[in-house]
Structure 1
Amino acid sequence: MDLGFRRGMPTVELHCAAPREAVWDVITDLDTWPQWGPTVSGAELKEPGPLRLGSEGNVVTPVGLKLPFTITEFRPRRCWAWQVAGVGATRHEVFSEGDGSRIVFAVPLWATAYLPVCALALPRIARLAIDRR
């Protein structure tokens, strides 16, 4: 696991043995979010279909609180970012690296204390992606 700084945001990063496409499928599949996200117990889109720029929905916290979200950045098979309850939140990126891929989670500067939570998610995503290969 590596700490970094990309696009003006602190990051936590992990090399994964799975290909970029498998990681992308995991991080954009709302059904898997509770399996890898420590602060997510559910998620749903307002309109059915794949995640895309402008997608809106709700994310459910472990205490059952539903928070609205909007996808604010979306580059297919590369990255997505969101606002949760109107506040800029995490940015999720994956790219090919060597024999696998690199998973990168970035947070706004004010949310640096959230990086350890992101660090818990990365190996979970890697395991799910490896299972999908």
Structure 2
Amino acid sequence: MALELGINSVSLEKTPDGRRLLVRHDADASVDTVWDVLTDTGCWSDWGPSVTAVETTDRYIDDGTAGRVRVAGAVWLPFEVTACAPYRWTWNVARLPATGHFVEERADGSVVGFEIPPLATGYAPVCARACRRITALAQQRDA
């Protein structure tokens, strides 16, 4: 089942972490550039509507990267990247499984997306906004 929202799409699919709500957005940027934006902790607050700051020793994430994120401008929460392979990463925030992040290649660019745990489906509009911001940042880097 998929719901189209402009160039966003939302669907319920099986992922390596079980069934998740997937939010996707077409990007007119290369898969590597979008991946660079997704994994660069220095710009998470630029594209993450709920993230206002990040503290970590790693500029680019990898398996096991840990630190903390400030959400809603006030609350600091610990995070740890639980998996990071080319074009997909997942993390725990406050020791709870949070969104997965991915990039897929397509013939004329890429697709950026989020995997949302079933209990957090209300977070889909936030992820759709993040997808649009990631796309804009990646297009700037590709320019």
TM-score, structure 1 normalization? 0.94
Structure holding more strand per residue: 2
Residues 1:62 and 2:72 aligned together: yes
Q: Which residue of structure 2 lines up, in the alignment, with residue 16 of structure 1?
A: 27
Higher relative contact order (CA 8 A, sep 6+): 1
SS state at 2:73 partner: coil
Name segments (4+ residues, structure 1) moved above 2 Å.
47-50
Per-residue deviation, 1:38: 0.6
For residues 20-59 of structure 1, what are the structure 2 equivalents within 5 Å? 20-45=31-56, 47-48=57-58, 50-59=60-69
Q: Which residue of structure 2 lines up, in the alignment, with residue 124 of structure 1?
A: 133
Per-residue CA distance 1:39-67 (angstroms, 9 max, x = gap): 0001121x345311111110011332110
TM-score, structure 2 normalization? 0.87
Closer, same or farther: CA 75–65 of 1 in aligned 2, 3 Å? same
For residues 66-105 of structure 1, what are the structure 2 equivalents within 5 Å? 66-76=76-86, 78-105=87-114
In structure 2, what is the Cα distance between the partners aligned to 1:43 and 1:92?
Answer: 17
Per-residue deviation, 1:127: 0.5
In structure 1, what is the Cα distance between the partners aligned to 2:59 and 2:98?
Answer: 22
Q: What amino acid sits opposite 1:5 in the alignment?
A: L
Closer, same or farther: CA 44–110 of 1 in aligned 2, 3 Å? same
Q: Aligned residues: percent identity?
A: 37
Q: What amino acid sits opposite 1:27 in the alignment?
A: L
In structure 1, what is the Cα distance between the partners aligned to 2:23 and 2:104?
Answer: 14
Aligned length: 131
Q: Please, which runs of 5 or more residues in structure 1 have no aligned partner?
A: none
In structure 2, what is the Cα distance between the partners aligned to 1:91 and 1:36?
Answer: 15
